Amino acid sequence: MSSLQDVGVIYSDVYLNYNFGRGHPLNPYRYKLFFDLIKHYGLLDKLKHIEPRMASEGELRLLHTQEYIDRVKKLSERGYGMLDFGDTPAFKGMFEASSYIVGGTLNAVDLVMNGECAHAFNPGGGHHHAASDRGAGFCIFNDVAIAVRYLLEKWKVKKVMVIDIDVHHGDGTQWSLYSEPKALKVDFHESGMYLYPGTGFMDEMGEGDGYGFMVNVPLPPRTHDDAYLYAFKEIVPILAEEFKPDIIVQQCGVDTHFEDPLAHLALTTRAYAEIAEIMHEVAHKVTNGKYVMVGGGGYNVETVARAWTIMVSRVLGIELPDELPKEWIEEFKSLMGYEPPKTLYDKSKPFISEGTWRSIMADVEQVVKEVKKRFPRFFKR
C-alpha cells in the first residue's frame, strides 16, 4: 500500500487548451472531469498535486527535429492546417498547449526521480503517435519518448521500461526508440490488422542494438478482461524482473474499454483496477517503487474519468465507494449535456457468447506463447 503523498498528480485547467475543436473525438473535458472526480472523492488530501510547466525547446529536441518544432509554432500562430492526413488539425496556441503536456510528464518524472513521490500521474500525457518530424493520431509532441530520453540523458538512469496499454499501437514511441537497448518497450494493443495505425506486429522487435527490446502484444477484437489480464500477467512481471529497469513509465490509454467508440476491445473497469495493482506491485518489487503514469486514449469522457480514478485509487491503496459523488454527476451534466453513469465501476458488461469468449481466450493464449518464443532472453522458463 502507498503512504500519504506517495502519489503525485500533475494537472491544471491549461490542459483544456489542448483542443481540436467541436466534434473532434479527443474531448479535453476528460482531463478536468478526471481531476474533479478525484477531488470530489477526497483524494487530493492524499496526493501531491502540482501544476504542469511548459517544456523547453531543448527538451522537445530530445526527440523532435527543430524543423518540426518550428512548423508546429507556425501552424500554432496561424491556427489552421493539418499535422497529418486528417486526424490532427492545427489550432491556435497548440504549440503552448502541447508543450504543457510534455512539461507535465517531465514534472511527473522529476517528482519520482527527486524522491518527492514514489509514483506520479500526468493525465494530460500519453501522446504516443507523434514521431520526431511529424504529428499523428491526435498527438503533436510525443511526451512518452521525450520522457525516456530525459531519464536517460538528464537523470542518467541505466534502464527504463515503457508499458503502453492504449488500444492503438504506440507507433511514434516504438520508432523513436527502436534502436535503444536501454529502453524496453512493451505494447499491448488491438492488432494493426483491424485498427489504426496498422503497426505493432510481433515481428517488429527493434533494430541494431535495440533488437529484442520492443515487445508487441497484438490482440484480437473483442479481447475481454480475462484474456487481457491473462496476457498482462504472463508477460509484464517476467519482463520487469528480467530487464530490471530503474523506473517504469506507463501509458494508460483506456480506449480498450468495451464502450469506446473508436476501437473494438471489450475491457470493463475491473481490468484497469487489476492492471494498476499489478503495476504497483511490480514497481515496488523491481524499481523501488519508481513508477510514472501518463494518460492516453479514451473517447468516452465518463469512462476516462472513472477508469483513471480507479487506477489512481488502486496505486494509493484506497478502496473508493462505488457511488459517484453527486456534485461530480451535476458538474458532468452541465459540462457534457448528458447523464454520466452513477457508479465508479461498470454495472453492465459487453455481450460475448461463450463460444466467442473461448475462441478469444485461445487466440490470446497463442499470442502469449508466440511472444515468449520470440524473446528467449527474457522468457527463459
pLDDT tens for each residue of 84-140: 888 899 999 999 999 999 999 999 999 999 999 999 999 999 999 999 999 999 999
pLDDT at 380: 86
> How far is the C-alpha of 6 from the C-alpha of 194, rounded, in Å?
39
Do residues 298 and 253 touch, judged by C-beta distance below 8 A? Answer: yes
pLDDT at 381: 67
pLDDT at 5: 55
In 3-state terms, what secondary structure has residue 275? helix
Nearest to 293 by CA among 9, 44, 16, 89: 9
pLDDT at 360: 98
> How far is the C-alpha of 298 from the C-alpha of 172, rounded, in Å?
18
Residue 227 has pLDDT above 90, yes or no: yes
The pLDDT tens digits for 149-161 are: 999 999 999 999 9
Q: What pLDDT band is residue 4 in, cutting at 50, 70 and 90?
A: very low
pLDDT at 85: 83
Nearest to 190 by CA among 172, 164, 211, 156: 164
Other residues' Cβ atoms within 10 Å of the Cβ of residue 172 = 26
Q: What pLDDT band is residue 272 in, cutting at 50, 70 and 90?
A: very high
Residue 82 has pLDDT above 50, yes or no: yes
DSSP string, 240-272: HHHH--SEEEEE---TTBTT-TT---BB-HHHH
For 103, counting Cβ atoms within 10 Å of its Cβ (0-12 exposed, 13-18 middle, 19+ buried), the class is: buried
Residue 65 has pLDDT above 60, yes or no: yes
> How far is the C-alpha of 266 from the C-alpha of 27, rounded, in Å?
21
Sheet bearing 119-122, strands edge to edge: 48-50, 7-10, 119-122, 291-294, 247-251, 160-164, 183-190, 214-219
Q: Which residues contact 83 (CB under 8 A, 6 or more apart)?
A: 72, 75, 89, 90, 134, 135, 136, 140
pLDDT at 277: 98
> Whole-number mean pLDDT of the chain?
97
pLDDT at 2: 44
Whole-number Cα distances in Å, 242 to 32, 206, 332, 342? 38, 18, 44, 42
pTM here is 0.97
Residue 325 has pLDDT above 80, yes or no: yes
In 3-state terms, what secondary structure has residue 141? coil
Whole-number Cα distances in Å, 101 to 144, 243, 357, 371? 10, 29, 38, 33
Q: Give start and end residues of each alpha helix (H) in the chain.
A: 29-40, 57-60, 66-78, 94-113, 143-153, 171-176, 225-243, 269-286, 301-316, 326-336, 354-374
Do residues 306 and 344 touch, judged by C-beta distance below 8 A? Answer: yes
Phi then psi dihedrals of residue 374, to 5 deg: -75, -20
pLDDT at 84: 85
The pLDDT tens digits for 329-378 are: 999 999 999 999 999 999 999 999 999 999 999 999 999 999 999 999 99
Catalytic center residues: 129
Whether the bond between 350 and the residue before it is cis, its omega within 30 degrees of 0, is no
DSSP code of residue 217: E
The pLDDT tens digits for 26-40 are: 999 999 999 999 999
Residue 3 has pLDDT above 50, yes or no: no
Other residues' Cβ atoms within 10 Å of the Cβ of residue 187 = 25
